[in-house]
Chain A
């Protein structure tokens, strides 16, 4: 196997994008998280709807999860 003929491996995301991705995704995630928690504390057992809670929680988790991975990459913890 000739290594020199193989294509070079580049990561899936350009490192210069890490800061903006981190801030963007974590920001959106924080927004959804805030919405989720505000909803949890303002609604009572007659008004709260499970579907809404789960949808907002999933959105918040997805954005925060992806955002925190990019935060790790940005600060130099190459996971």
Chain B
């Protein structure tokens, strides 16, 4: 134990020294030139910072810290960095006093004495505050941007300049931090030289901003995979106008005659861009279809001009549902039983969009297993849900993803991998078939029930006779067919004189007749008890039949000597057979 204490202290000492060394190292990093543009002409504040970092230390520099004031960090939706137009990693670090810290990981270390230019881009949402907070229908919207005249930097800055682009609106006022001036649609702060690290001097820019301040407060995106070759997408969207709130009454007349066009403080319509393969597109809400929208099919996309039921003034909101179908080959890849879905986590709603809360749900086919999800940025994966829809037995697995505060830059694809046996495609047709089969089997069982209260022996007997007569009819039809076969066989014999064939045919016919006769005698026997009169008639029929059979040999003897087909004997025979069989049919009908 005693030995362990010094070792522990040693560790602390090394750690402290290391920390001090790191701090000392950071002193040797300097930003020689920094240029920042803040674009506040839309509802977003898009900040672009170009830093030239110089390493004056003795060792190579592997990462650069980037500071954002805590005020700004509260509105941060997206941050990305590039070096020579190539993306580099940005990792969030624990905050320091007054600043949020991000680490830009350099792909190539900055050697001692060398320098590198890093571009950092970030987007702030809902950071522009309307002032005045409430306006009437006739007024235009003004907003206030609050920021820092200096670049929030972890390192001392030699030279810096900030340009605030406020767009085409009227500039009301701006805080001066000399030297600062207005240049057309911009306010330029700086250049300042030799600013210390973490310098802050607050600035305010008050200006007219007429761009739409609409925010999608909730977006629920549902992606449903069907292995019949379709991917259905449905988005439930709530949009709120978060600009200056409308005060006073709304006049439809004033709205109609307003000639300010886009300067009107309301949103009349916006454009949603859907994938080019989208079809069966619908745009509706709880009432039903919203017919005021229009669709344009372009080469690489489908554009929907979304026109809500009413113009959106400040503080007003609208809910709608937008859905469409996509063919599976655009986004679903398969290798045997392994499937990969590659689709956008969030899709375009309107240009310069802000999404407060996104919920993406992916409905997998039934029986999908081994699900692996990879997302382009960190998201909150909720517990899986179950959804039971058409022809489901146990429900489909639903992957639920949540993320707050998103902008255009978040329109990126995710990949979802899962296992699914291709034989499962048969489940649904089999289920439907099984349903119909059960229905028919129920009918088969039902007809076998007897719901008669009293037993009616007369009608019962009649049914029995009917069944027997049907059987007799069948036998007679078979006999007629046999007669025809024989006549044909004789006719063939006349042509080829093959005695063997004729003999064989006759032998075969003989056995068939014997069988029919046996059946018939059985029926006659049963008929005697059921209906004696009918049994006599059947006997009469049997006599007719045996009459034909008995004179058959004589006919064959006579006719087989000649070679002329369809001779007078043949014709006589056919007439006789036909006559007798017709008599038989008459007998059956009489029964």
Contact partners of B429 in chain A: CB under 8 A:
65-66, 69
Q: When each residue 237-254 of chain B gets 1 if its CB lies under 8 Å from chain A and 0 otherwise, what string results?
A: 000000000000000000
Complex contact B433–A65 (CB within 8 A) = yes
Complex contact B334–A9 (CB within 8 A) = yes
Once A61-B436, A66-B429, A72-B390 are accepted as A-B contacts, the answer to whether A3 and B280 lie under 8 Å apart by CB is no
A2 to chain B, nearest CB (A): 10
Secondary structure at the A interface, as helix, strand, loop or mixed, is helix
Say which residue of A1, A64, A76, A78 sits within 8 Å of B436 (CB atoms): A64
Contact partners of A29 in chain B: CB under 8 A:
436
Instruction: Categorize the interface residue count of chain A.
Output: 35 or more
Complex contact A12–B228 (CB within 8 A) = yes
Once A50-B444, A53-B444, A61-B440 are accepted as A-B contacts, the answer to whether A78 and B230 lie under 8 Å apart by CB is yes
Say which residue of A10, A46, A61 sits within 8 Å of B467 (CB atoms): A46
Q: How far is the CA of A13 from the CA of B437 in the complex (A)?
A: 24
Contact partners of A73 in chain B: CB under 8 A:
228
Complex contact A62–B433 (CB within 8 A) = yes
Q: How far is the CA of A53 from the CA of B466 in the complex (A)?
A: 20
Complex contact A79–B333 (CB within 8 A) = no
Say which residue of B333, B417, B441, B447 sits within 8 Å of A9 (CB atoms): B333
Q: Which of these binds chain A: B8-16, B31-39, B324-332?
A: B324-332
Complex contact A76–B333 (CB within 8 A) = no
Complex contact A60–B440 (CB within 8 A) = yes
* Nearest-CB residue, chain A, relative to B427: A79
Q: Which residues 308-339 of B have a CB within 8 angstroms of A?
A: 325, 327-330, 332-335, 339
Say which residue of A3, A7, A61, A79 sits within 8 Å of B228 (CB atoms): A79
Q: When each residue 43-56 of chain A gets 1 if its CB lies under 8 Å from chain B and 0 otherwise, what string results?
A: 01111101001100
Complex contact A69–B467 (CB within 8 A) = no
Once A6-B335, A12-B228, A61-B437 are accepted as A-B contacts, the answer to whether A47 and B325 lie under 8 Å apart by CB is no
Instruction: Categorize the interface residue count of chain B.
Output: 35 or more
Complex contact B229–A57 (CB within 8 A) = no
B521 touches A (CB below 8 Å): no
Contact partners of A10 in chain B: CB under 8 A:
229, 328-329
Q: How far is the CA of A78 from the CA of B433 in the complex (A)?
A: 18
B232 touches A (CB below 8 Å): yes
Complex contact B339–A76 (CB within 8 A) = no
B203 touches A (CB below 8 Å): no
Q: Which residues 54-113 of B have a CB within 8 angstroms of A?
A: none
Complex contact A44–B440 (CB within 8 A) = no
Contact partners of B430 in chain A: CB under 8 A:
65
Q: How far is the CA of A13 from the CA of B430 in the complex (A)?
A: 16
Q: How far is the CA of A12 from the CA of B227 in the complex (A)?
A: 8
* Nearest-CB residue, chain B, relative to A40: B447
Say which residue of B226, B339, B466 sits within 8 Å of A46 (CB atoms): B466
Complex contact B436–A3 (CB within 8 A) = no
* Nearest-CB residue, chain A, relative to B450: A45
24 contacts between A and B (CB under 8 A): A3-B340, A6-B335, A7-B333, A7-B334, A7-B335, A8-B329, A9-B334, A11-B328, A12-B228, A15-B327, A29-B436, A45-B448, A46-B463, A48-B447, A54-B444, A57-B443, A57-B444, A58-B437, A64-B436, A65-B429, A65-B436, A66-B432, A68-B432, A72-B390
Q: Which 8 A-B pairs have the closest CB atoms?
A: A11-B229, A65-B433, A46-B467, A57-B440, A78-B226, A61-B436, A65-B432, A6-B333
